[in-house]
Amino acid sequence: MKILESIVSVSNDILWTYVLIILLIGLGMYFTIRSNFVQFRMIGEMFRLLGQGTKGSKEKKGITSFQAFSIGTAARVGTGNLAGVALAIATGGPGAVFWMWIIALIGAASSFVESTLAQIYKVKDEKGYRGGPAYYMEKGLNRRWMGILFAVLITLCFGFVFNSVQANTISLAFNNAYGIDRDWMGLILALLTAIVIFGGVKRIARVTEWMVPIMAGGYVLIALFIMLINITQVPGIFMTIFSSAFGINQAIGGGIGAALMMGIKRGLFSNEAGMGSGANAAATAEVSHPVKQGLVQALSVFTDTLIVCSATAFIILLAGNYGNPDLTGIELTQAALSTHMGSWATSFVAIIVFLFAFSSVIGNYYYGETNIAFIRTSKVWLFIYRFLVVGMVFYGSGAKIEIVWDMADLFMGLMALLNLIAIGLLGRIAFLALQDYRRQKKAGMEPVFHASSIEGLTTVECWGDEGK
């Protein structure tokens, strides 16, 4: 036990955190420059492709581009968008929001690279396509051992641990709002989870493609309404965010450091750019060119941080109670909404928590499924994994899981480190694919990719001369 505690403590060590942050930001900036600022220059193309991606075809083997976007966004947008942002503001002040925005703008380039690579190195299966970091580690770097290690880490982290945490948050929210027993809530959640995940990736895609717009859209509309009724305060809130970000008018000397660290951590661990998780969703889409899904998944980063996290930030800052030391996390968000909307906000937050957290549960589950298949394709192993996920959802609903959360931080850190090494080494492939995409667009063509488009690209399965 002492050895386990020592290992887990490493995940919270400040030096480890700094190293990971430096790598994530450093590579994000490098990818931004090497791609000629793809996340800014091609944002119009992102929206065009997202709209185009809603149109599926019965003949297609894979899922639509929009469905893959929804799976990735479902996993990204969770209770951290409610509780994590509140914690960042309570600890680092309003300036944390500014650094959260900066990280999203930089991280979108990393998301583009890893998602494009996931598309290039994806493989076919009986239900469509699958892929992600484990697959491009094996096929692009010829390091299967590295892929297996990543697959184990992401399965443990997302499939089991994070799903326990999400279920725990749901049960607490409903217990506080309606007095529902947490064990009964766990049973309901486990049943709902089983219904969705035993239906496979296409059922997951169908659920997330309607759940994500409803949950994110509804929450953002509430935030916009709050901003509208407090419109005269909004310019002052922006000024507070910017001034606090650079330590101006801080009450204590360490203000800028706290804002910087909390904003960076919130941004990185919310949008997951560069960590490899979203790339698993990107690989499932059927598109004519890998860059298309790379651009769509970069937009998912913006959706998570610039839209949903910002909605929470403005709700809290306009309420003005973020300086209360007794309010942190989800309690701060609930209190802020109650200030604006009245006592019914507690019930509203419970419903929003359910939508955010349950969508994350099924998105996280899929990340484990595709990586289980990488290690070994077996219906028995898949059934065991699904059964364990349902069990962890039930367990997490009523458990105290602080040690499990610390282990998740460790697994996620190791997972991110492996992925950053891989995309750093393979990034040039994504940039060559981007050059091919831009060349075809400039010629007035709808881009189509073939393995022969990149010289020496011989280890791909899905991009033959016919583009299939």
Please give the average per-residue pLDDT across 307-323, as a whole number.
Answer: 81
Please tell me which residue, 198 or 452, carries the higher pLDDT value: 452
Q: What is the pLDDT of residue 457?
A: 85
Question: Residue 6: is its pLDDT beyond 50?
Answer: no
Question: Residue 248: is its pLDDT beyond 60?
Answer: no
> What distance in Å separates the CA atoms of residue 107 and residue 41, rounded to the nearest whole number?
15
> What distance in Å separates the CA atoms of residue 263 and residue 52, rounded to the nearest whole number?
33
Which residues, listed in sequence order, are joined to residue 130 by a DSSP beta bridge? 123
Q: How confident is the model at residue 173 (pLDDT cuts 50, 70, 90)?
A: confident
Please give the average per-residue pLDDT across 88-106, as a whole number.
Answer: 81
Question: Residue 223: is its pLDDT beyond 70?
Answer: yes
Question: Residue 467: is its pLDDT beyond 50?
Answer: no
Output the six-digit token pair for 172: 């607490």
Q: What is the pLDDT of residue 430?
A: 94
Question: Residue 440: is its pLDDT beyond 90?
Answer: yes
Write the CB contacts of 175 (distance below 8 Å, at least 6 apart in sequence). Answer: 181, 182, 185
**Per-residue pLDDT reduced to its tens digit, 103-132:** 888 889 999 999 999 999 998 877 778 888
Q: What is the pLDDT of residue 295?
A: 92
Contact predicate 353/137, CB 8 Å: no
**Per-residue pLDDT reduced to its tens digit, 59-87:** 455 567 777 776 666 666 666 677 777 77
Q: What is the pLDDT of residue 405?
A: 59
Burial class (CB in 10 A: 0-12, 13-18, 19+), 218: middle
Question: Residue 468: is its pLDDT beyond 60?
Answer: no
Q: What is the pLDDT of residue 339?
A: 78
Instruction: Identify the CA nearest to 134 among candidates 243, 341, 279.
Output: 279
Residue in the block written with tokens 């880490």: 153
Residue in the block written with tokens 């996931």: 118
**R_g (Cα) of the chain, nearest Å:** 21
Boundaries of every domain in the chain: 6-56+64-453
Question: Residue 387: is its pLDDT beyond 70?
Answer: yes
Residue 157 host element (H or E) = none
Whole-number Cα distances in Å, 266 to 84, 258, 312: 7, 12, 12
Query: Could you give phi then psi for residue 128, rounded to 5 degrees?
Result: 145, -115
CATH 1.10.1060 for domain 6-56+64-453, yes or no, is no
Kindly report the pTM of this predicted structure: 0.83
Whole-number Cα distances in Å, 309 to 199, 239, 271: 31, 18, 10
Beta-carbon neighbour count of residue 263 at 10 Å? 28
Please give the average per-residue pLDDT across 338-365, as a whole number.
Answer: 76
Residue in the block written with tokens 């957290």: 357
